[in-house]
Amino acid sequence: MTETPKNYRSKYRLTVFFASILFVGLGLSMNQVFAMGDAPSTCLNRYDGPIVSFAINNGSNTFNPIANPGVVFNVNTGSSYDVTFVIHTSNMSSQNNTSLGTTWYHDDVFAFADGHCMPDSKTTTILPNQDVTLNETLTNPHPGYYSQSVFFATFSTLSNPVTYNVQWIDSSSAPQNLQAMVTSSSKIHLSWTTPANNGGSEITGYQIESSTDAGSTWSTMDENTGSTTTTYYDTELNPSTTYTYRVSAINGMGTSSPSNTATASTPSDVTITSSPTELVATTISSSQINLSWTTPTDDGGSEITGYDVERSPDNGNTWYSVISNTGNNNATYNDAGLSQSTTYTYRVSTINGIGTGSPSNTASETTSTSTSGIVLNNIQSTSGSTTLSSNRIMLSDFDVGTDNNRLLVVGVSADRSHVNSITFGGIPLTKKVGSFYNNDAEFWYLDNPTGNGAIVVTMNGKTSTVVGAYSFSGVNQTNPIPTKAVRHNVNSNSPTISLTTKFANDWVIDLPSIYGGSTIGSSTCTQQWDVNMPSAITGASSSKIVPTQSVINCKWTTNSADFWDDVAIEIKALP
């Protein structure tokens, strides 16, 4: 038997004594429970060292709690997760030798502090300056646990353990009180209440299913709404058809069991819609009249998809189509490019899936006499997507008018690229202002253009683009655009821009550019175009005549606040 020198045995006993005090004290302070398992003193010829790497895998993602102390991840309460960590042993054992020995670590994964000799308290296979890899599969320590804090430490890192947090979650319980209500022969509105129990994880969306055979077979209408909204519209339905629905909740764990079912039947009496009512015409300027009306009370059992706007220059004796289909159900329209001091009469008809209904009441209004010197002769917009091989978009036939001192202004809104060049009838335009912090917004211009021609916009690359053009007359040709303004946001909200005019009787026009998941409207200046390309870009523009030098704010309202850029310019009138 080898005899241990007396002074070494005393040092060893003292080390074990203080280590035990440290271990028990730390275990009690960190867990407030009784420490179990192997004490450090029970590990033969112990090699201490830090945890140098630590990986957690919950079945779908890997986490590193050393790089991200206290990292939080989700695990199903009925499942498990894996940890793999490496202890790097010291150069000398606790007994000041380099013989085979053990190492020790400490954890509280099962809700109590636990010590572990490695490989065990009696087997000595560990060497100095060695990486010891340990793998564990861990389960929920208690059926009632939803949130659990865990730490791992070695003897040398008890005061600085590796920590992480487990969210033990279940699938949500089912949504409740599903109801289905028919709103037309092609639309059914669904509503429900949130699940009583979200399973310990926030609900992020809902799955919507429908059936036309009373629930014998189901089809998925929306895999994940991506919203916590508890309403849904099922559209483009067939008339005289019975539909059955069910809804499931989605959380971080997955999809819940379905709700109760709800049934509704679409009617068969689909007809032409009734007429719009309360048509009102309002003079905006010497070249613009704005229209507004009330939507029909009866859509004929088919969703309203647009309006046919007509105009008469002779008090209703002859009619001309201003726009045959607005392509939206907005109950407003701005008619620009009119002659000054002229009376126009209007009527509006509704369009649904069956066709065009009968006209509304008529409304007449007279454009004002121009006092600013500037007249808006024409306005036109379009939208489309460019590719790397075809990076152009155009307004094929734009008339700049015949009055004197003309100015062509082209506004471009895009989501992924900027403008390379713009031409009118082959003549290049000049860029006045641009902003591309979130989305691209640019104004380009051309002095004294003539005739009709194509406006060709060449983008720098693949992008979705909204293009609009203004044609003015009565513009100062020496300094047509004296002022510009640029703005973008860094927190999602509604577009707004401010410009201080330098001269009286000028025009201000703005150009917001926002992500196409947001629609905008309700402009404080007069809306001229507003085009939404879903999931791509929304581009719009508004204008305002400014009789005196002043600060002009052009603001829009979004249905879903997002990130935008906005530019504005002042158009100078002739003296």
Residue 298 CB contacts under 8 Å (≥ 6 apart), including other chains: 273, 274
Residues 347, 351: Cα–Cα separation, whole Å: 13
- Pick the closest to residue 84 from 110, 57, 111 (CA basis): 57
DSSP string, 265-306: E--S--------EEEEEEE-SSS-EEEEEEPPS--TTS---E
- Pick the closest to residue 102 from 23, 38, 152 (CA basis): 38
Residues 484, 145: Cα–Cα separation, whole Å: 60
Predicted confidence at residue 388, as pLDDT, reads 67
- In the chain, the domains with their CATH numbers are 6-169 (2.60.40), 176-265 (2.60.40.10), 291-366 (2.60.40.10), 375-571 (no CATH)
Predicted confidence at residue 155, as pLDDT, reads 94
Under the phi-then-psi rule, with left for phi > 0, alpha for psi from -120 to 50, and beta for the rest, what region is 316?
A: left
Residues 397, 456: Cα–Cα separation, whole Å: 10
Q: Which two tokens stand for residue 242?
A: 């019975």
Give the mean pLDDT of 274-284.
Answer: 89
Residues 509, 91: Cα–Cα separation, whole Å: 75
Query: What's the one-letter identity of residue 146?
Result: Y
Lowest mean pLDDT among 20-24, 367-371, 439-443: 20-24
Residues 493-544 pLDDT 10s: 999 999 999 998 899 999 999 998 899 988 999 889 999 998 899 999 999 9
| pLDDT band, very low/low/confident/very high, at 34 (cuts 50, 70, 90) | very low
Give the mean pLDDT of 20-43.
Answer: 56
State yes or no: pLDDT of 18 exceeds 90: no
Residue located via tokens 């004290």: 25
Residues 269, 208: Cα–Cα separation, whole Å: 27
Give the mean pLDDT of 242-246.
Answer: 95
Predicted confidence at residue 74, as pLDDT, reads 87
Residue located via tokens 């100078």: 572
State yes or no: pLDDT of 25 exceeds 60: no
Give the mean pLDDT of 167-193.
Answer: 87
Under the phi-then-psi rule, with left for phi > 0, alpha for psi from -120 to 50, and beta for the rest, what region is 157?
A: alpha
Predicted confidence at residue 69, as pLDDT, reads 94
Under the phi-then-psi rule, with left for phi > 0, alpha for psi from -120 to 50, and beta for the rest, what region is 516?
A: alpha
Residues 423-457 pLDDT 10s: 999 999 999 999 999 999 999 999 999 999 999 99
Residues 399, 391: Cα–Cα separation, whole Å: 24
Sign of CA dihedral 55, 58, 62, 63: negative
Is the pLDDT higher at 408 or at 339?
408
Give the mean pLDDT of 380-392.
Answer: 84
Cα angle, residue 281 at apex, residues 278 and 284 outer, rounded to 5°: 150
Is the pLDDT higher at 102 or at 171?
102
DSSP string, 149-170: EEEEEEGGGTTS-EEEEEEEE-
Give the mean pLDDT of 340-345.
Answer: 90
Length of the chain: 575
Task: Tell me which H or E stretch contains 509.
Answer: strand 506-515
Residues 212-222 pLDDT 10s: 999 999 999 99
Predicted confidence at residue 367, as pLDDT, reads 86
Give how far Cα 154 sits from Cα of 26, 112, 128, 160, Å: 12, 16, 15, 9
Q: Collapsing DSSP states into helix, strand and coil, what is residue 20?
A: helix
Predicted confidence at residue 269, as pLDDT, reads 67
Residue 149 CB contacts under 8 Å (≥ 6 apart), including other chains: 163, 164, 165
Predicted confidence at residue 370, as pLDDT, reads 63
Residue 26 phi/psi, 5° resolution? Answer: -65, -45
Q: What percent of the chain has pLDDT over 90?
A: 60
- Pick the closest to residue 223 from 214, 215, 232 (CA basis): 232
Give the mean pLDDT of 78-97.
Answer: 94
Residues 406, 469: Cα–Cα separation, whole Å: 13
- Give Dmax over CA atoms of the chain in angstroms: 124
Predicted confidence at residue 216, as pLDDT, reads 93
State yes or no: pLDDT of 298 exceeds 90: no
Residues 262, 247: Cα–Cα separation, whole Å: 10
Predicted confidence at residue 170, as pLDDT, reads 79
Residue 5 CB contacts under 8 Å (≥ 6 apart), including other chains: none
| pLDDT band, very low/low/confident/very high, at 43 (cuts 50, 70, 90) | very high
- Pairing type for strands 103-107 and 452-459 reads unpaired
Lowest mean pLDDT among 101-110, 291-300, 482-491: 291-300
DSSP string, 363-400: EEEEPPPPSSS-EEEEEEEEEEEE-SS--EEEEEEEE-
Mean pLDDT of the chain: 87
- Pick the closest to residue 385 from 459, 327, 439, 441 (CA basis): 459
pTM score above 0.75: no
Give the mean pLDDT of 2-30.
Answer: 34
